[in-house]
Structure 1
Amino acid sequence: MKYPTRALVFLGLALCAGMVFGQGLTTGVLSGVVTDADNAVLPGVSVEAVHPDTGTRYSGQTGADGRFSFQNVRPGPYIVTVALEGFHPQEATDPVVSLGEATVLSFRLELETVTETVTVVGESNPLITPSRTGNSSNISTGQIENLPNIDRGFNDFARLNPFMVPSAENEDPDAISVAGRSTRFNNIQIDGAVNNDLFGLADSGTPGGQTETPPISMDAVAEMKLVVADYDVRNGGFTGGSINAITRNGTNRFKGSVFYYSLDESLVGEGKEELGEPGVFDEEQYGFRIGGPIVKDKIFFFANGEIGKRNTATGWSLDGSSGQCFGNCDPFVQAQAARFKSILQSQYGFDPGPFNELVRPTDSDRWFLRFDFNAGTRHQITARWNYVDAVNLINRPGSRTYEWDSEAYDINNKTNSLVAAVNSTFGSNKFNEFRMTYQTVEDRRPPVSTFPWIEVEDLDRAQGYFEEFEAGSEPFSVRNALDQNVIELTDNFTWLMGNHTLTFGTHNEFFNFDNLFIQNAYGSYEFADMDAFEAGIAKRYRWTFVNDGQSESQKFDVNQWGFYGGDQWAVKSNLTLTYGLRVDIPFFPDEPSFNQFTVDTYGVATNNMPDGEQLWQPRFGFNWDIGNDGQQQLRGGLGVFAGRTPYVWISNQYARTGIEQTFVEATGAIGFNPDPFGQPPEDAVGSASFGEFNLIDPNFKFPQVMRYNLAYDRQLPWWDMVGTAELIYTDSIDEIDYKDLNITETGETIPFDGRPMFTRVDSDVSGAYYITNTDRGDSTNLALKLEKPYRGGLWGFVSYAYGDSNVVNDGTSSRAVSNFQYNEQLNPNDAQEARSDFSVEHRFNFSVAYRFNDNGRWPTTVSAFYNLQSGRPYTYIYGSQNYRSINQDGYYSNDLLYVPAGPDDVVLENGTWAELDAFISSEECLNSKRGGIVDRNDCDAPWFHTLDIHLAQDIPIKNTNLQVTFDILNFVNLLDSEAGSNSYANFNTLSPISYEGITDDGKPIYGLSRVITDPSNNNKYDFHSLHSRWRMKWGIRWTF
């Protein structure tokens, strides 16, 4: 059942259904009911709630049903007083409002003629409350301060939700996959304001994410809300999940802290034997936070600053001085490295770098300032500023390709964000939330070298040495800069009408992008082997230049309008329905250049852009308190969620029209020219072509999914624990799909496996990449969880999660060509649904925190987080040596491997059938496909587990507190050096077999790498070097 039918069914449900909905993105709801001794509701009761830290007051009266509700209230503790003439007044001094949740109280008033007794005021369990329908988690200030937090980023806390999986893809520990979706499909917010990597260059999803720097200091964060499925129509911008952090504010009391954290290689373990020594590593973070009143009960300030400095070894070297030695320090590989360096130095006067490992510096400055103003009892005004300045040196050598130091590049980021918000109350039943954001993001990516990029392939193919060397200016960093300007305007109006809570609002985003990207601007040369390199004869050359009269950068605007309306209806005291409708409408006011060639050749114009495509998102949720006693609830819902396409995918359409830039590609025998500013070489003159085109379906829609969830929560009789079983199913409506319009099937197939053959439509075009939509794809996620809310100094949970996610294209790259060519398929223009790169089948977690001697003078806190999960999926493809594409489509990294059934099915260029047979038998995903073609992502890397520990000792000093902390990451590796290792297939693929052609009788010719032929070199996985070892960070904090 696809979208039109779904929408009709949903609207029918909403119409048949006939409202607590007002909890905001930066606030919460405080509500309740007042009854008399006979349990009859009391209307007209005066209710006042005071936030003691700031003196903020909310006042009103109960309605005819005895209920009251304060919307858009500050999260935190409250004192709530209820009074009615003729009754004893009551006061609740301990209710706490959490971000985005409703705290529900119940009062029972006694007549004044009755002797006053202490009456228990009821407060709902935060896990069993009418405001919960979909899946979400709240992270409190206590959890942020007391759980293991060695990276001091969102990732350390997002992992507490069973459906949010840290995806340490290719050494990036900050990426978070939600419900098996790509890390690019999340929505990151700070104080409800957009704080995404809108352009989509970082896996972490945050601006400046490529610098490996969190977007805000965790010392400035008060609470976090993690959302997977939320039927509040104000939540949008994601098809994965949403992470919203609200910041600290000043109070009536001056308070603050200063801190220092440190970690170096002496506090890093050796890990398993394959990892070797940990190499250089040191990190320090220091900063402060302070807040207090400017005018008591009226105006407050909060300020925070944090400086971070880190030096991280890449983990790879050529001389064995690092954890992992390239080529396992094979003497032949080392000799080739010396030859490679000698050629560059003697013939061209260029030093590619030393043989020892590179140490990458990362520096960051983060500053935060916030002001809050209570403008009477009806308005609260907030203004805040967040600034991040970070730089990170990037270099990623691996087991197959060694990137010399000269290929490194810097990532420089500056993010400046201003937010103003006004929360208002009108009368006793109308509330408004207004927010305005202005953000600038500057990214620069300078290479450390200006020498042309060079790659030498196949150190010795005949002997199975498939390793490669790369040096010179990284081809995608030579001319690479990005400026973004973001304006966001949001207004939400909430109106209480009896047992309905109506919300109407608008969320609008206006983006301006200025993107400079000229790849291969200094020239790129690829050599078949070391002899060809020494002779200065390349087999392939690429260069891009800007055409006369054209701008180097591409500038374009995006306007996205959003409108929504919803209702939460308290049908009965134990049944709440939430429903509403949201629409987002993106517009692209700027038109790319027009090129008649693409119209004539492919029937698609380069200036076609989707514009005004309406993303309708109906939603419906329910919460049923089964026994009407707060002990068990059934909750769930269904709804459409629309996210954003990373705007770099849109930028591709403006830069790759064939008008702005000319792409030069030459193959054959190309003489090497070492002058970066004297390109192209003579052999490539006249080889100019259109290069690649990026085209888009004029009806293209941003990603949309239909998400269903059903959950059962039960209060258990032990330690206030709550047990939960939850199922989430996500069905794709509009996902991305890429095609190359410049290749077409020939009608022929490959004799030994039947896959179709291709040819180019125009030999002067490297590719015409067309982004469109598909409705194929789904994910199923199940979680079982036991959680104990914080009481008596103890909090904890244990959970199991199952996931199965399938997509057509994961969209893991920023470039159209990469999203197309790295999507492993039999027919790349008819990509089939397959297992996602982000699918994690099994995951077990537990976390616990306990504060010893909580009321004593020297309290001690101990907490832990444990994660055990199945390995990430990967695919076997053919190696890309000698640019042989098995199906002649011109792409060398997407050809799924054919697995021979026996020795008569294949001809080996090197090695023996016994070696290949043993390798196939060692992998179930290969062994089960003998005589056939492997499936995408049918293989799994090994399971891995980790245990993180946090220890904190408080030392009171007069009216201040000194705290000493120790955070130990991967404690299991400290107990057992062979445990806790995190191994994976780089970019989710392995290619130990190369395709060398086909025999006259139709058999494939294979070349075998040393992973297969040399038992001493059988480590086919890469290791996450730092995260596969124990690390301990110590810190000291003085709080006053």
Structure 2
Amino acid sequence: MTVTFFTTVQAQITTAIRGTVVDQQDKAVVDASVKITHTASGTVSLASSNENGVFSARGMRVGGPYSVEISGSGFSAVRIDDLYLALDRTLNLPVTVQAETTLEEIVVTGTRRSVGYENKGLGTDFGIEALEEVASIDRDITDAAAQNPFAIVNVQSGGAKELTIAGANNRFNSLTVDGVALNDRFGLNANGYPTQRSPISYDAIESLSIQTAPFDVEYNGFTGGTINAVTKSGTNEFFGSVAYYSTDDSLIGDKNKDQDFNFTFEEETTVATLGGPIIQDKLFFFVAYDKYEEIAPLQNGPLGSGALNIQQDITLDDVAEVRGIVSDVWGFDIGGFNKAPAQDEKILANVDWNINDAHRAKFTYISTEGNTIQEQNGNNFLASGNILGASSAWYDRSEEIETFTGHLFSDWTPNFSTQLKIASTEQATGQNSLNGAEFPSFAVFLREVDGDKNYLVIGPDRFRHGNSLNQEFFQVKAIAEYVTGNHLIKFGFEREEVDVNNLFAQNSEGSYVFDSTDDLRNATASGLLYDNAVTNNENDLRAIWGYESNSFYIQDTWDIADDLTLDFGIRYDRYGSNGSIRENQNFVDNYGYSNANDIDGLDVVLPRASFEWN
């Protein structure tokens, strides 16, 4: 007998096997029984060959090892062991069987390449072993994605990694984790994530796929590239890991040419994972916990503060004088120059349920909370000079994400299978001033030295007077696949609902400038800038809105030969919006069209065609 292995690209969170069974005269073997077993969990998929000798199994776990058993009348049974399946790819398994002999079974050993690294066409795949070999100091999936030849990573001065795929802005990429999109839809983070660091623990990933320009009709919602991650699942054996990573200022230099550095920082990461059976061959769990803590150095400070960048003409005595005045006159604490720790905490939990040989379910919970302290010195009146912000002008930039996902994979007949996904995600983004936002921004002039004016800024900066963002996403996806002859027909429907509650009320508390500490003591400002709703209630500036999209698609995957596959498909997307926009007549008069237009009723038709020749 002979066995050959090929893979073709598919847009799924699972994997698949498509095979053909022929005899030694190259004639199709009809009604051969095929049993596919995920060895580690005992998960079984059953199939049979059709009139063309073709069999197909969909919705299978990523990785392996798998065992494929082929049996029937008139030929010796065949078992193929140690098969490993890659994410987003279908394993082609042509099998030539031998006439029945005295041998009970012929055993063939498969390949482990799908647990490693594969760069093929416009896609790059990482199995679990390849992911473990990626060098990543901060354990970010961007470092793995950068192995794609179309990807470039630009590290910003603040440490954020911008992943550019095929030359597109990183905000036009898409990250999906177990089929759920986790993207920065408002463009607030330089890394393109909804969080300032990787939204899931690196140790929780089973497989990773980076696609530059996929043609499958399931792909949508990006113009750069898509990064698709599938997390680990439990097996019949318990497994786990514990890791600790640490770095601090003792591991770096303390001098750059003639400039001495004397600052303190510390970073610690603790990771733990555990997976195993709840019921053997039936119910499994996997959990991952990842916590990062940092004590970051003070970037800017007055003389004597020990900051990396010292404002030589602003002293701690200046800060103390302003603190006393503001406390006496307004009862407000301007803060100081001590930076609080920041942290990031990730939790992931998976439950896999083998309902029976025809149905399998997976449930995923993701929780990510993280923050950083942002030093700030913004005031409307200050465009130049030496400007230093006390900690009351800083803000705590935080993100919280919570996701619940359920998948159901069903094989109704040997030729017909379905997948159903329901997911709910909540994202909360905070930009909270450290000493509260119910106070104006003050800029206090201290002195002029060699033509440079020196200011101390206190109170929440103008962009944090009213600033919050909450988003809710609900997703439903249903796919049906039918195998007939050498064709795989796929039908799909997707719906996404998005609700947004966004407050952005800059200067709603006012921004003031004082020309001296005496003017500050006398509450005599030389300038004031104030913006707010006409009601003077900043919450009336809150934008509460939403939209939804519905998608329908169909695709025919035609396996002309073992090494040639054609795809023909069409996707239809239609958009709707919630609520209404008040028309502004001044806008209409000035520009000749209404400001009340939105995306409601817009649609797009996306035909797709591709071929793959191995």
TM-score above 0.5: yes
CA positional deviation for 1:431: 1.6
Query: Which residue does the alignment assign to 1:217?
Result: 201
**Taking CA–CA contacts closer than 8 Å with sequence separation of 6 or more, which of the two structures ends up with the larger relative contact order?**
1
Query: Which residue does the alignment assign to 1:579?
Result: 568
- Confirm or deny: 8 A CA contact 2:35 2:68 kept in the other structure: yes
Stretch moving more, 432-441 or 515-524: 515-524
The separation in 2 between residues aligned to 1:580 and 1:458, in whole angstroms, is 68
> Which SS does the other structure have where 2:261 is aligned?
coil
AA at the equivalent of 1:306: D
Query: Which residue does the alignment assign to 1:304?
Result: 288
- Confirm or deny: 8 A CA contact 2:84 2:111 kept in the other structure: no
Deviations 1:715-740 (A, max 9, x none): xxxxxxxxxxxxxxxxxxxxxxxxxx
User: Does residue 47 of structure 2 align to residue 63 of structure 1?
Assistant: no
The separation in 1 between residues aligned to 2:37 and 2:373, in whole angstroms, is 49
CA positional deviation for 1:122: 6.7
> Cα gap change, 1:99/1:323 in structure 2, threshold over 3 Å: closer, same or farther?
farther
- Confirm or deny: 8 A CA contact 2:116 2:126 kept in the other structure: no
> Which SS does the other structure have where 1:177 is aligned?
strand
Query: Which residue does the alignment assign to 1:591?
Result: 580
> Which SS does the other structure have where 1:411 is aligned?
strand
User: Does residue 437 of structure 2 align to residue 448 of structure 1?
Assistant: no
Match of 1:474 among 453, 461, 466: 461
CA positional deviation for 1:99: 0.9
The separation in 1 between residues aligned to 2:31 and 2:68, in whole angstroms, is 16
AA at the equivalent of 1:283: E
CA positional deviation for 1:390: 2.6
- What pairs with 1:702-741 in structure 2 (closer than 5 Å)? none
User: Does residue 411 of structure 2 align to residue 431 of structure 1?
Assistant: no
The separation in 2 between residues aligned to 1:415 and 1:118, in whole angstroms, is 51
> Which SS does the other structure have where 2:341 is aligned?
strand
> Which SS does the other structure have where 1:569 is aligned?
strand
Higher strand share: 2
The separation in 2 between residues aligned to 1:579 and 1:340, in whole angstroms, is 71
AA at the equivalent of 2:366: N
> Cα gap change, 1:21/1:96 in structure 2, threshold over 3 Å: closer, same or farther?
closer
Deviations 1:467-486 (A, max 9, x none): 87644312212222222221
CA positional deviation for 1:27: 0.5
CA positional deviation for 1:127: 12
How many residues align? The count is 593
> Cα gap change, 1:342/1:538 in structure 2, threshold over 3 Å: closer, same or farther?
farther
Query: Which residue does the alignment assign to 1:395?
Result: 375
The separation in 2 between residues aligned to 1:498 and 1:269, in whole angstroms, is 67
Query: Which residue does the alignment assign to 2:152?
Result: 165
User: Does residue 608 of structure 2 align to residue 608 of structure 1?
Assistant: no
> Cα gap change, 1:276/1:478 in structure 2, threshold over 3 Å: closer, same or farther?
farther
CA positional deviation for 1:233: 1.0
Stretch moving more, 552-561 or 395-404: 395-404
CA positional deviation for 1:490: 0.5
CA positional deviation for 1:121: 6.2
Match of 1:344 among 322, 329, 353: 322
The separation in 2 between residues aligned to 1:180 and 1:400, in whole angstroms, is 37
AA at the equivalent of 2:608: R
The separation in 2 between residues aligned to 1:171 and 1:447, in whole angstroms, is 20
> Cα gap change, 1:524/1:340 in structure 2, threshold over 3 Å: closer, same or farther?
farther
> Which SS does the other structure have where 2:312 is aligned?
helix
- Confirm or deny: 8 A CA contact 1:360 1:392 kept in the other structure: no
AA at the equivalent of 1:50: T
CA positional deviation for 1:297: 1.2
> Which SS does the other structure have where 2:429 is aligned?
strand
> Which SS does the other structure have where 1:167 is aligned?
strand
Query: Which residue does the alignment assign to 2:37?
Result: 50
Query: Which residue does the alignment assign to 2:70?
Result: 82
> Cα gap change, 1:186/1:276 in structure 2, threshold over 3 Å: closer, same or farther?
farther
- Confirm or deny: 8 A CA contact 2:326 2:334 kept in the other structure: no
> Cα gap change, 1:31/1:448 in structure 2, threshold over 3 Å: closer, same or farther?
same
- What pairs with 1:864-879 in structure 2 (closer than 5 Å)? none
Query: Which residue does the alignment assign to 1:231?
Result: 215
- Confirm or deny: 8 A CA contact 2:574 2:604 kept in the other structure: yes
The separation in 2 between residues aligned to 1:177 and 1:469, in whole angstroms, is 38
What's the % identity of the aligned pairs?
27
CA positional deviation for 1:539: 5.2
> Which SS does the other structure have where 1:476 is aligned?
helix
User: Does residue 532 of structure 2 align to residue 544 of structure 1?
Assistant: yes
Match of 1:513 among 471, 483, 500: 500
> Cα gap change, 1:48/1:119 in structure 2, threshold over 3 Å: closer, same or farther?
closer
> Which SS does the other structure have where 1:54 is aligned?
coil
User: Does residue 399 of structure 2 align to residue 413 of structure 1?
Assistant: yes
The separation in 1 between residues aligned to 2:258 and 2:303, in whole angstroms, is 15
Match of 2:88 among 100, 123, 129: 100
- Confirm or deny: 8 A CA contact 1:437 1:489 kept in the other structure: yes
> Cα gap change, 1:203/1:35 in structure 2, threshold over 3 Å: closer, same or farther?
same
CA positional deviation for 1:236: 1.0
The separation in 2 between residues aligned to 1:241 and 1:314, in whole angstroms, is 36
The separation in 2 between residues aligned to 1:389 and 1:75, in whole angstroms, is 28
Query: Which residue does the alignment assign to 1:791?
Result: none
> Cα gap change, 1:526/1:224 in structure 2, threshold over 3 Å: closer, same or farther?
farther
AA at the equivalent of 2:568: Y
> Cα gap change, 1:483/1:431 in structure 2, threshold over 3 Å: closer, same or farther?
same
The separation in 2 between residues aligned to 1:122 and 1:624, in whole angstroms, is 22
> Cα gap change, 1:271/1:385 in structure 2, threshold over 3 Å: closer, same or farther?
farther
- What pairs with 1:93-242 in structure 2 (closer than 5 Å)? 93-113=81-101, 135-207=122-194, 209=195, 212-242=196-226
Unmatched segments (≥5 aa) in structure 2: 1-6, 379-384
AA at the equivalent of 2:588: V
> Which SS does the other structure have where 2:99 is aligned?
coil
The separation in 2 between residues aligned to 1:278 and 1:577, in whole angstroms, is 63
CA positional deviation for 1:516: 2.1
> Which SS does the other structure have where 1:156 is aligned?
helix
The separation in 2 between residues aligned to 1:567 and 1:124, in whole angstroms, is 29
The separation in 2 between residues aligned to 1:457 and 1:508, in whole angstroms, is 55
Query: Which residue does the alignment assign to 2:264?
Result: 280
> Which SS does the other structure have where 1:543 is aligned?
coil
The separation in 1 between residues aligned to 2:25 and 2:110, in whole angstroms, is 16
TM-score, with length taken from structure 1: 0.52
Match of 1:555 among 528, 538, 544: 544
The separation in 2 between residues aligned to 1:290 and 1:127, in whole angstroms, is 20
CA positional deviation for 1:361: 1.9
The separation in 1 between residues aligned to 2:345 and 2:182, in whole angstroms, is 17
Query: Which residue does the alignment assign to 1:622?
Result: 611
The separation in 1 between residues aligned to 2:407 and 2:255, in whole angstroms, is 49
- What pairs with 1:917-996 in structure 2 (closer than 5 Å)? none
The separation in 2 between residues aligned to 1:293 and 1:119, in whole angstroms, is 28
AA at the equivalent of 1:61: S
CA RMSD of aligned residues (A): 3.6
The separation in 2 between residues aligned to 1:278 and 1:618, in whole angstroms, is 61
- Confirm or deny: 8 A CA contact 1:374 1:381 kept in the other structure: yes
The separation in 2 between residues aligned to 1:176 and 1:565, in whole angstroms, is 31
AA at the equivalent of 1:380: R
Query: Which residue does the alignment assign to 2:342?
Result: 362
The separation in 2 between residues aligned to 1:515 and 1:452, in whole angstroms, is 21
CA positional deviation for 1:500: 1.6
CA positional deviation for 1:28: 0.9
- What pairs with 1:469-868 in structure 2 (closer than 5 Å)? 470-525=457-512, 537-538=525-526, 541-545=529-533, 547=535, 551=540, 553-625=542-614
Match of 1:245 among 223, 226, 229: 229
